[in-house]
Amino acid sequence: MAGKTTTAKKHQARIDPPDGGRVALGGFIYQFVALAGMIAWPEACEDNTETENQVSTLLRLTRVLQPEIFDEDGFLQWLEETGLGTHLKQGAFIQLKFSGDGIGSTIGPQEFESICTSFRKSTGKAKAAGIRIAKWILLTNRRLGPKTQKNRSEQETKYSQTQVNPRSAAQSNERQLIIHSELSTTLWDDALLRFGHRYGLTPTEIEVGMGRLLGKMLRDIHPSGAPNITKTYIAQAFTGEQDPRPLTLGEVMPFCQRELERQQHRILSLNHKILRRNILDAITTAIQDHAVLLICGHGGSGKSVALWQWLSELGRQQPLQAAVAFRERSALNLGHRNIVAQIVNDWAGTEQGSRRREETIERTLSRLVIANPGHTPPILILGIDGIDEEKALASPGALDALIRPFLEENRRLLLKEDTPCLGAKLILVCRDQVHFDMLVTPSSGYPLPALERPPEITVTDFSSEELVEFVQEYFSPALAARFQLNLQDMVGSGTPTANFFSDAPSQRTLSPFMNAHSALDLNATPVDDEVFRALCHPALWHPFVELETEEEKHLFLNGDPALLRVVAGKFAHRIVAKADMRQSQRLGLGVPQIWQIFHNVASYTKSLTQTVHARQDWVTYTCTHHQFSGSQADVLYDEAISAGMIQVQAQQWEWRHSFVQSYFADTPTYRDHKEGGR
């Protein structure tokens, strides 16, 4: 299981010993529900969540008899097995006989007769009102007395009535008596606790909720005569929220998946999901025994994509492993010191301004644990992208408050301390570990001890093995053969590969790929060297794959100027759109203005003889000649680094791809790009 740790104990929801007052209150609430118009109509057997009625809610909530099988899916089966759902064509009366003595109290023949007498009287009144009753149901935590138990079947027959069908001469039950005795004394209280736990409520909060529920029913009975008691009705009373949602993993995961799907296009702009399995496996391994993990790498290397893909895969695993959340740093509220509380309470439907949104990380996570008793930690894995943004580094308070509890958890895991654990894990994305250190360096100025430092996964350009894998997956044999020649030439000639790959390709790795396409090598031509180097950059791979036809792909691999411009336009559009999404509110700039800054710098640097520039060149030229502020130019410089448009070494930088620089330089405005691009 991804994220599973062998050193942390299983979380168990804490259930206090039964409280006599609360048990009595729970029983009274259920009897009140029954007395407030508890008549079961045929639709009670349909388990229709859109039109719940009182009886279906009562039966689901109490989980009478076998709680372990009494879930939503097993509801109809349970009704059938117990007889509560058989021939329920008119209605049923339910009588609750609970005593504080439980099985120490017996129901003798005389009391049993009085119970059945009350059933008969109620049935007579119902009949006079035009309602036919098909079931009498007795639910009790008491024992049937010896004589009552001995003749139970006779009594059930005696108090059931049969009617002869004149057409078929067959006998069928018109009314049936059903008895469930020796139920748990705390049945109602336990049921309410289980219900409340699904919403992450503590026993104390549930007790308050029970009182709130009782008051709500008493208020509602006056205008309506019989409140429509549904699961939502009870949940609203328990939580005090208008739209409460359970915090069980089964309820939370659809929200997690929808969030990830939205971010796929809004944040990552992913149209083609290139899986780097080696990186995903590395994340799985590293997070096993740590509570904090760093994913580092240069801009455009695919750090964010890798984290998003890993969380997406984890969220789809069965059985459910953990709730997952992915947030971009720029989308977080720096003024709020508990990001986890915001995320979890969004899932729970908690209203803005609620005190639960101000709770500590530990208490927020404990609510997830309560809602998922017995789940092996972690209960939540949170990924945050872009912690190296200038805004985050300038205001580290909120991120430091988030990271600290996870660092403490990391230390406990590494030292194998037998203490209560946080039960959650944190994955952070930044270009370099130094940015993480800037956020968490103690006030003393000393860095974290080596033992407490989280592991780091470095994401680089595509390796030779990865490039071979992607070529085989996305290309036709004819296109793949062209890459084969480049790789073959590199291995055969002994050409250094450091400029192309993070690790040198080996003949052993490449030979299966070469053999698969050897028949095509005679007619193939190698990929243009500049294009080959560019496609080792993950951020540029996406616009290349988006080319519509095989012919266009071949032309791009040839280094055709027109197709280089097409791919550069797609790449430039992604960069500007992402910068607008992340920085527009802060800078007060729109897409046209952002494009103008990139155009200005590209035009200026293209006119220079040197390829390496000082950072100040970017800022000075933009501010001096084009009326942009220094902060605006500086922020977009960081965006260009983050997107992989430029490369940085100390305070020097150069364009990552010359044809992208040329595209910005030759396209003065965003309007020109839209009119001339595709």
Q: Which domains does the chain have, with CATH numbers?
A: 20-239 (no CATH), 249-458 (3.40.50), 464-559 (no CATH), 563-676 (1.10.10)
Q: What is the pLDDT of residue 510?
A: 34
Listed residue (276, 285, 266, 341) closest to 307, CA to CA: 276
Q: Which two tokens stand for residue 79?
A: 């009704």
Q: Which two tokens stand for residue 373?
A: 């008793």
Q: What is the pLDDT of residue 166?
A: 37
Q: Which two tokens stand for residue 311?
A: 């969380």
Q: What is the mean pLDDT of residues 199-212?
A: 90
What counts of helices (H) and strands (E) characterise the chain? 29, 14
Of 559 and 511, more confident: 559
pLDDT band at 396 (very low <50, low <70, confident <90, very high): low
Q: What is the pLDDT of residue 269?
A: 57
pLDDT band at 228 (very low <50, low <70, confident <90, very high): low
For 90-203, list the strands marked E by DSSP.
92-97, 106-107, 135-140, 143-144, 161-164, 171-180
Listed residue (226, 224, 293, 371) closest to 5, CA to CA: 293
Which of these ranges, 66-80, 103-117, 176-190, 581-595, has the smallest mean pLDDT? 66-80
Of 379 and 129, more confident: 379
86: pLDDT strictly greater than 50: no
Which of these ranges, 368-382, 392-406, 570-584, has the smallest mean pLDDT? 392-406
Helix (H, G, I), strand (E, B) or coil at 537: coil
Q: What is the pLDDT of residue 611?
A: 86
Alpha-carbon torsion 443, 445, 451, 457, what sign?
positive
Locus of tokens 């409460």: 244
Burial track 83-100 (b if 16+ CB lie within 10 A, e otherwise): ebbbebebbbbbbbbbee
Of the chain, the percentage scoring pLDDT greater than 90 comes to 23
Of the chain, the percentage scoring pLDDT greater than 70 comes to 69
For residue 279, which phi and psi values (nearest 5 degrees)?
-75, -40
Amino acid at 288: Q
505: pLDDT strictly greater than 50: no
Predicted model pTM: 0.76
Which of these ranges, 213-222, 426-435, 574-583, 617-626, has the smallest mean pLDDT? 213-222
Total Cβ atoms within 10 A of residue 22:
20
Helix (H, G, I), strand (E, B) or coil at 389: coil
Whether residue 389 contacts residue 27, with contact meaning beta carbons closer than 8 Å, is answered with no
The residues with which 173 forms a beta bridge, in sequence order, are: 162
Which of these ranges, 51-55, 266-270, 589-593, 606-610, has the smallest mean pLDDT? 51-55
Helix H or strand E segment including 632: helix 630-643
